[in-house]
Amino acid sequence: MATATADRQQIQQRLDDARARTDEIFALLEPEALYERPIPERHRLIFYLGHVEAFDWNLIPRGALGAPPFDADFDRLFAFGIDPVGGGLPNEPASQWPARERVLEYNARLRRALDDAVSGADLEKLDGGSRFEVAIEHRLMHAETLAYLVHQLPHTMKRRPAGAENSGDVSPAVIRHVGIPAGRATLGRSRARGFGWDNEFDELAVEVPAFAIDSHPVTNRGWLEFLDAGGYRERRFWSEADWAWRTGHGIEHPLLWARDGGGWHYRGMFDDVPLPLEHPVYVSHAEASAFAHWANRALPTEAQFHRAAYGTPQGVEREFPWGDEPPAPIRGNFDFARWDPVPVSAHPAGASAFGVHDLLGNGWEWTSTAFAPLPGFTPFPFYRGYSADFFDGKHFVIKGGSARTAACMLRRSFRNWFQPHYPYLYAKFRLVGA
């Protein structure tokens, strides 16, 4: 009984912390910015303001405890986000969305009602607490996806929090090809190990043949070489679909690069700075694949990423690249540490047993693996489409995490995915092959 109360208090605390993370993002915005649509494939920002609350209500009080709708119209309006495949972009006018004040009021009342409803509830009814984990991690994922949406707004629409300066450059990292001997990589998660999303189950051991992988991800400096070699102009480096995307959208450089008289700049969250050459380059899967063709190498598979990150010369596998200790700031640029990347060599204490750096944090890493279920996949009965809607061969697995990824989602089994022509997320890459 006492433990149940302690568990619930701890869960309430984690929910409150997650709420503070989404509140923090909205607090950056000038009020009118809420009606902007910074990314054509996503909703206007006002949607997300209501979404993280409506989702929680639909999932917990309404979905598990028999509560009525909180506000039937808003509960439905804010229920689900979008990820259109192959066109079909939203184009409704901003005036179609409710006023900011009404959404803020819905949110404040909903949070109070939700906290009341769950305070006396039986954890059994909440699928042993899984629904809380889903609510908390769903919100934390939105704290990250909101960050890259807000990243696209002009600097004049946001207020810079204290301590958000961009990090300066350091001496160039020496990028080596690290040889990884053949061995086992354990993907996924066993059901005995506690909460994971549907796509993390079951555990799957894969024998990975020997391969070589870069010690660090590709930097802005490395990308300049590709660009200067005509990387965006040479048809032969690109697959047919990727070339159509590149030419159709007139893409000639990474999304966050801007040319400005004197040279290249990086468009940071709050300001523009001369291109930081030692930072990882953030690019789409299509651009990363073209770079790999140019270099005569390849993107790692999901299993190769695991092997390089969690394998050891002794054969045991570890929980994190650096060992089994939980994530801490010296290990990498994650858990909301910053708003922008840092040099790829900034966290030697985060290197894997094989000496591979910057694997967790500082940008997710693209793999060549299409997002698909592991054997034993079962959708959550209360959220059937979370992963299953995206097993379409049109999304690729990303691993690792960014500066805006919460520590709880740095677990080894966590899998994330995006379309290859979606350049907005904080994603870097590294190459494998001789």
Binding residues for ligand AVJ (CB under 6 A): 81, 83, 138, 141-142, 145, 416-417
- Could you tell me the smallest distance in angstroms from the CB atom of residue 385 to ligand AVJ? 9
* Among 31, 40, 81, 194, interactor with Fe ion by CB under 5 A: 81
- Least Å distance between CB 215 and Fe ion? 35
Kindly report the length of the chain.
Answer: 434
Q: What is the Cα–Cα distance from 223 to 286, expressed in whole angstroms?
A: 14
Q: Report what 416 binds from ligand AVJ, Fe ion, none; CB cut-off 5-8 Å by kind.
A: ligand AVJ
Exposed/middle/buried for 205, CB within 10 Å: 0-12, 13-18, 19+?
exposed
Q: Closer to Fe ion at the Cβ: 81 or 194? A: 81
Which partner from the list ligand AVJ, Fe ion, none does 417 bind, CB cut-off 5 to 8 Å by kind? ligand AVJ
DSSP secondary structure string, 255-313? TTEEEETTEEEEE-SS-EEE--TTSBPP--HHHHHHHHHHTT-BPPPHHHHHHHHH--T
Stretch that binds Fe ion, among 74-82, 117-125, 377-385, 402-410 (CB under 5 A): 74-82
Residue closer to ligand AVJ (CB basis): 79 or 316: 79
DSSP single-letter state for residue 159: P
Instruction: Give the nearest distance from C-beta 145 to ligand AVJ in angstroms.
Output: 5
Whole-number minimum distance, CB 434 to ligand AVJ, in Å?
A: 33
Residue 122: CB minimum distance to ligand AVJ, A: 27
* Residue 409 main-chain phi, psi, to 5 deg: -95, 15
> Which residue type does 116 have?
D
Give the residue among 403, 402, 401 at the shortest CA–CA distance from 411.
401
202: left (phi over 0), alpha (psi -120 to 50) or beta: beta
Please, are residues 353 and 347 in contact by the beta-carbon 8 Å criterion?
A: no
Specify the residue, 81 or 181, whose C-beta has the smaller distance to Fe ion. 81
141 binds, among ligand AVJ, Fe ion, none (CB under 5 to 8 A by kind): ligand AVJ
Which residue, 88 or 261, is less far from ligand AVJ as judged by CB?
A: 88
Q: Using an 8 Å Cβ cutoff, are 254 and 283 in contact?
A: yes
Q: How far is the CB of 142 from ligand AVJ (least distance, A)?
A: 6
For residue 200, the minimal CB distance to ligand AVJ (Å) is 12
Nearer to Fe ion, 226 or 383 (CB): 383
Of 212 and 388, the one with the shorter C-beta distance to ligand AVJ is 388
Grouping H, G, I as helix, E, B as strand and the rest as coil, residue 40 is coil
Binding residues vs Fe ion (CB under 5 A): 81
